[in-house]
Amino acid sequence: MVFDSEDAAALWAIRRDAAELDAAAQSELDAWLAVDERHAGALLRAEAALA
Amino acid sequence: MSSEGSDHTKLSQSRREIITWVGSNIVPHEGDLRSRLRRMAVPEDEISDIVQDAYVKIAKLDSVTHIRNGRSYFFTTARTMLLDRIRRERIVRIDSMTEIEALRLADDDPGPERRVSARLELERVRRLIDGLPERCREIFELRRVEGVSQREIAARLGLPEHIVEAQAARGLKLILKALAREARSDEDAPGKNGERASDRHGI
């Protein structure tokens, strides 16, 4: 295991890179970020790798 | 992300700047940090936790303009977290504080050798992209190199947009997993089916 949240973070990074999230997707992302503070770190890492 | 609250819908300029900075100043040093922690016999799951916690710390920042040296910040953060874990006895085997000191020495200002190391790491990421499965690589290059939108990529390739999204996410996952492995030159390139060279060789 590398990151528990790595797969989800990669998908959110791709989605945020592709377009602004709609309200439903934004709520889903907010809920995912709220579950565990480590998710924010995983998302940053994924978005940075994509940068 | 303290500065954004729940408004992630449109990435703020400051958030974009942090992402870009992390991509240039932190990610290229992740492999080296992991290698050094491995040499200290820190268990792999602990290494992942330490690295992830370091990204969490950065993700909480409103700005990174106060950080003079990303590598130093990354290594110092990791060292602090490692020491915290040792104090809480979450890590059983650490032979001596000398090993911790080695992390401090590794986070100095990047000299020519370390600048070369970071450059090689960026080249390694480019090689990883080259080694992605064909469809992933094609989508990655269109998006990252040519700046084509996901919708346009879908139209060009005659694919539904959700397939393009899934393939791009698959490619990014492979790159993230490769970044987490110790830098071992060409062995890191994922094969056409996404497997590591070491897997292909049965290592």
Partners of A49 on chain B (C-beta within 8 Å) are 23, 27, 125, 172, 175-176, 179
Which of B172, B174, B188, B196 to mutate to probe the A interface, most A CBs <10 Å?
B172
Interval A3-10 mean pLDDT: 83
SS3 B60: coil
Residue B16 has, within 13 A of its CA and on its CB side, a CA count of 7
Closest CA to B56 of A16, A28, A9, A7: A9
Which of B55, B121, B161, B177 to mutate to probe the A interface, most A CBs <10 Å?
B55
Residue B11 has, within 13 A of its CA and on its CB side, a CA count of 19
Element (H, E) at B184: none
Task: Flag if B144 and A50 touch (Cβ within 8 Å).
Answer: yes
pTM, rounded to two decimals: 0.79
Partners of B22 on chain A (C-beta within 8 Å) are 44-45, 48, 51
**In this model, does residue B21 exceed pLDDT 90?**
yes
Write down the CATH number for the domain with range B111-198: 1.10.10.10
Specify the residue for token string 């700047």.
Answer: B17
Task: Flag if B165 and A15 touch (Cβ within 8 Å).
Answer: yes
Q: Name the average pLDDT for chain B.
A: 78
Kindly report which listed range (B4-13, B130-139, B182-191) carries the lowest average pLDDT score. B182-191
Task: Flag if B23 and A50 touch (Cβ within 8 Å).
Answer: yes
Contact in structure between B114 and B156 (CB atoms under 8 Å) = no
Predicted confidence band of residue B90 (pLDDT cuts 50, 70, 90): low
Kindly report which listed range (A41-45, B74-78, B94-98) carries the lowest average pLDDT score. B94-98
Considering A3-7, B76-80, B198-202, the range whose residues carry the highest mean pLDDT is B76-80
Q: Estimate the crossing angle of helix B27-39 against helix B70-87, to 10 degrees.
A: 40
d(CA B203, CA B201): 6
Closest CA to B159 of B132, B192, B135: B135
By the CB < 8 Å criterion, does A37 face chain B? yes
- B29 or B184: which leads in pLDDT: B29
Contacts of A8 (CB under 8 A, 6+ apart): A32, A39, A42
ipTM of the complex, rounded to two decimals? 0.90
In order of A19, A35, B44, B77, the CA distances from B84 in angstroms are 40, 24, 17, 11
pLDDT digits (tens, 9 = 90+) for B115-148: 666 677 667 777 888 889 999 999 988 988 888 9
Kindly report which listed range (A16-25, A34-43, B101-110, B162-171) carries the lowest average pLDDT score. B101-110
Could you give the maximum distance between any two Cα atoms of chain B, in Å?
59
Interval B108-112 mean pLDDT: 56
Q: What is the DSSP string of B88-152?
A: TT-------HHHHHHHHHHTS---HHHHHHHHHHHHHHHHHHHTS-HHHHHHHIIIIIS---HHH
Structure tokens at A33: 């970020």
Task: Flag if A38 and B168 touch (Cβ within 8 Å).
Answer: no
**What percent of chain B clears pLDDT 70, i.e. is strictly above it?**
67
**In this model, does residue B39 exceed pLDDT 80?**
yes
Predicted confidence band of residue B184 (pLDDT cuts 50, 70, 90): very low
In chain A, where the domains are located: 6-50
Task: Flag if B172 and A30 touch (Cβ within 8 Å).
Answer: no
Could you give the maximum distance between any two Cα atoms of chain A, in Å?
32
Partners of A46 on chain B (C-beta within 8 Å) are 172, 176
Nearest CA in chain B to A31: B6
Residues 4-33 of A with CB under 8 A from B: 6-7, 9-11, 13-21, 23, 26, 29-30, 33
